[in-house]
Amino acid sequence: MPAGSRSADKRPVGDGNGKKTYCRPSWDEYFIEIAKVVSSRSTCLRRRYGAVIVKDHVIVSTGYNGAPRGSLNCIDRGVCRRQELNVPAGERYELCEAVHAEQNAIVNGAPERMKDSTIYIAGFEESGEFAEGKPCLLCKRMIQNAMIKEVVFLKKDGSLAHVEDLRSLETSPLTLGAK
């Protein structure tokens, strides 16, 4: 990314004398906002996640968490199987029908466009609060195999985390990211 691309760009607008300013979002802010919108397509009752894969400031692919194509999803069923069984967040993914947002974005995109790209991940809890966007272990592996070079995710406190060394996303089997 070019120098300074992570900070907001202040530009005068209005009458031309500089009295009014417009705060243009950084590229990271722009794409994380798009990931938030993508999450609104989620079919999960527990958490909504959206992912946007970007290369050279152009969107390569998007994805949200939900049941595989052609399968009944939690919204249609009206119940989350894991919630019914009181399964804590981040455990027993095999009981969940959903494919993660990152996985859907990778599967839906052209493989040759993934190399050296950035994936943006945003999520929301059922309550509407931010959910931790850190990829789970399986998604981390898929991100690595897709040769995506950087992960930018929305943290629970609303700030952004930037990860260029995917090894730093190492997650123990007991704390697999809460999706």
- Does domain 28-169 fall into CATH 3.40.140.10? yes
CA-closest candidate to residue 38, choices 55, 61, 22: 61
Mean pLDDT, residues 130-143 = 93
With bands split at pLDDT 50, 70 and 90, how would you rate the model's confidence at 16?
low
pLDDT tens digit sequence for 55-113: 999 999 999 999 999 998 899 989 888 888 998 877 888 888 899 999 999 999 999 99
State the pLDDT at residue 27: 97
- Percentage of the chain modeled with pLDDT above 90: 62
State the pLDDT at residue 21: 73
∠ Cα 32 57 16 (to 5°): 85
How do the domains of the chain map onto residue ranges?
28-169
With 0.85 as the threshold, say if the pTM is over it: no
Active site members: 102
User: Alpha-carbon distance 122 to 47, whole Å?
Assistant: 11
Amino acid of residue 115: K
Mean pLDDT, residues 4-18 = 55
Residue 134 CA neighbour count, 13 Å, CB half: 20
